[in-house]
Amino acid sequence: MKKTLSFIFLLLLVAGAGVAFYGYKQVFGSYVIQNISLKIPSESSYNELIELLEQKKLIKNKQVFDLLANKMNLRNNVHGGYYEFKKGTSLFETIKILRGGLQTPVTFTIN
């Protein structure tokens, strides 16, 4: 009986560790698979932002993105502008960039 309980406990511990690792990889692992430039129109709503991100194939898992975006309060902090995401950027970093309005500077020259 004691061995059975120990085995069940160990099995649950390993399963819990697997779930935790999967969640960690979803949030902090490489999320952006290629360099992407994104122009978000000013006055865009959160739902419009989601549609734009889906069109650019920047969202792999909408439920995970939405859960983390809500936790990080992106819904109330959508900033228009020009953004660039480099290959390997994590989901956490992607949402942090969008929420903070950390845009890529656009340079132009006048001749």
Please list the pLDDT of the chain residue by residue as tens digits (111 residues).
888 988 898 898 899 888 888 888 887 888 888 898 999 998 899 999 999 999 988 888 889 899 999 999 999 999 999 999 999 899 999 999 999 988 877 777 887
Give the pLDDT confidence score for residue 40 in this predicted structure.
Answer: 93
Q: Residue 107 has which token pair?
A: 């340079």
**Residue 30: DSSP 8-state:** B
Closest Cα partner for 31 from 8, 61, 4, 52?
A: 61
pTM score, whole prediction: 0.79
Give the pLDDT confidence score for residue 18 in this predicted structure.
Answer: 87
Q: Residue 95 has which token pair?
A: 């949402």
Give the pLDDT confidence score for residue 108 in this predicted structure.
Answer: 74
